[in-house]
Amino acid sequence: MTQDELKQQVGRAAANYVLSNVAHGAVLGVGTGSTVNFFIDEVAAFKDRFRGAVSSSNASTARLRAHGFEVLELNDIETLPVYVDGADEIDAAGHMIKGGGGALTREKIVAMVAQTFVCIVDESKRVDLLGAFPLPVEVIPMASAAIARRFVDLDGQPTLRVAKDGSTFVTDNGNWVLDVHGLRIPDPVGLEAEVNNWPGVVTVGLFARRGANISLLGTKEGVHRIDY
């Protein structure tokens, strides 16, 4: 199976999960990325079962609306039973690196509100130790050089993310992203707490203090559910 086929099967499994576990009239939390796009496409056929969705990015909002979903503001939602999103890496404890698409801050906010975080990934994202994927960090632009120096002190190799047109990548929140290469992260909870306390950091792409509750892992043998 190709990677896209693996993503499609896990997107379908996530749609089946919410149809079986989320009450009629509830609001879905929807993340960002290529695997989530397959989930959106799969669940769209049942959109009338749900009051609407809360989205973590402008791109996902546009895709949801194109399928006829009502996209709601998180501030108007009291309960969010489930949040479905992908990850760039996930370990055996459900700790993740996220933010390859640049939506890490909004993703973390929606994940904080959700009762259950369902992470949907193909088997290439499962790792024993986080850090092979460069760690995304959303930063206030004026702090980017100072934050980069802090990561160098941790033996990281930070680079400023560049958009496809060669300009500096700008998040939906108007900030920049540092991608930190070369880290090995044996204590993701501790590193998340430390980096989030640095002035100028908006969000670090470690989802460890609020990790996944469930992962749906796409493999050539089918989709495996893992509970944490």
What would the pLDDT profile of 144-187 be if each residue is shown by its tens digit? 999 999 999 999 999 999 999 999 999 999 999 999 999 999 99
Stretch 3-14: mean pLDDT, rounded? Answer: 94
24's tokens:
């009629």
How far is residue 131's CA from residue 10's CA, in Å, rounded to a whole number? Answer: 24
Tokens representing 154 are 């941790």
Q: What is the pLDDT of residue 132?
A: 97
Residue 72, pLDDT > 90, answer yes
Going 173 to 176 to 177 to 180, the CA torsion angle's sign is: negative
How far is 32 from 109, CA to CA, in rounded Å? 13
Would you say 138 and 105 are in contact if contact means Cβ atoms under 8 Å apart?
A: yes
Q: What's the order of all strands across the beta sheet hosting 222-227?
A: 52-55, 27-30, 82-85, 116-122, 214-219, 222-227
Q: In Å, how far from its chain's centre is CA 109? A: 10
**pLDDT greater than 90 at residue 107:** yes
Annotated catalytic residues are 107
Q: Which CATH number, 2.40.50.140, 3.30.1370.140, 3.40.50.1820, 3.40.50.1360, labels domain 3-127+209-227?
A: 3.40.50.1360
Confidence category of residue 92, pLDDT binned at 50, 70, 90: very high
Which residues of the chain does CATH 3.40.50.1360 include? 3-127+209-227
Amino acid at 102: G
Burial class (CB in 10 A: 0-12, 13-18, 19+), 126: middle
Do the bridges between strand 135-139 and strand 201-204 make them parallel or antiparallel, or are there none, so unpaired? antiparallel
In the Cβ-directed half-sphere of 221, how many Cα atoms lie within 13 Å?
3
Quick one: which of 135, 96, 107, 106 has its CA closest to 228? 96
**Beta-ladder partners of 160:** 178
At residue 111, the pLDDT reads: 97
CA distance 126 to 140: 30
User: The domain 135-204 is classified under which CATH number: 3.40.50.1950, 3.30.465.10, 3.30.70.260, 3.40.50.170?
Assistant: 3.30.70.260
Percent of the chain with pLDDT over 70: 100
Residue where the block lists tokens 């969705």: 53
Q: Which residues make up each annotated binding site?
A: 32-35, 85-88, 98-101, 125
For tokens 């379908």, name the residue.
12
pLDDT at 3: 87
Beta bridge partners of 157: 181
Tell me, rounded to whole angstroms, the distance of Cα 41 from its chain centroid. 18
* Per-chain mean pLDDT for the chain: 97
Prediction pTM value: 0.94
CA dihedral 16→21→24→26, nearest 10 degrees, is: -100
Residue 211 CA to residue 41 CA, distance in Å, equals: 25
State residue 37's pLDDT score.
Answer: 97
User: Which residues define the annotated binding site for substrate?
Assistant: 32-35, 85-88, 98-101, 125
What is the location of CATH 3.30.70.260 in the chain?
135-204
